[in-house]
Structure 1
Amino acid sequence: MTGTAIRTPYPAPESGVIYAVHPPAVIQGSEVTPYVYVTSCPQVGDTQVLPCTRDGHVLRLVLLGLVSTQDHAAALLDAGWELEEVTSCVVA
């Protein structure tokens, strides 16, 4: 089963992006988070997915996804989430 990842408007540290994911990321045992930090490293040429808080603080150095290309969608898919593009949002 593939879950869903949506890019958040929250500022991320460095050059990464914070995504909201469903189902939530399982970090260790019963510890979960609905946010992941995705970052690409141009020097190495890979993209990593790590569990984080809404503020982008990495909770544990646990790779949830890793691909050998600079592609957030591919890294999220490797971790089990499909990137969903949201073009507009209505807040009630």
Structure 2
Amino acid sequence: MNSRQLILVPVLALVGGASIAMEATEFPIEPSVLTREAVKSALAQARADGEIVRGEASLRADPPFVAVRTREEVRAEAVAAAHAHRVDPLHTGG
């Protein structure tokens, strides 16, 4: 490595680090208008109403899947597409 590269690499690292550090101060922090007691009571009310869910984001059960077509219909469509050399560009990136 020559001396130019030895100087350039740390300078770029510092500039990159500074740009990342500036993102945290991009938005001003607005002071709260609620008291601590008001926030605690709102939290207790939300917990009592069941609005606060702990755990995974997908904790609530999804509705059961209901198939619109049978397996035989899907397989017949796939076989017909293969015989006709049709390719769905959505799934092949074409």
Q: Same fold (TM over 0.5)?
A: no
TM-score, scaled relative to structure 2: 0.18
Whichever of the two has the greater Rg, that structure is: 2
Q: Which structure has the higher relative contact order (CA within 8 Å, separation 6+)?
A: 1
Which is richer in helix?
A: 2
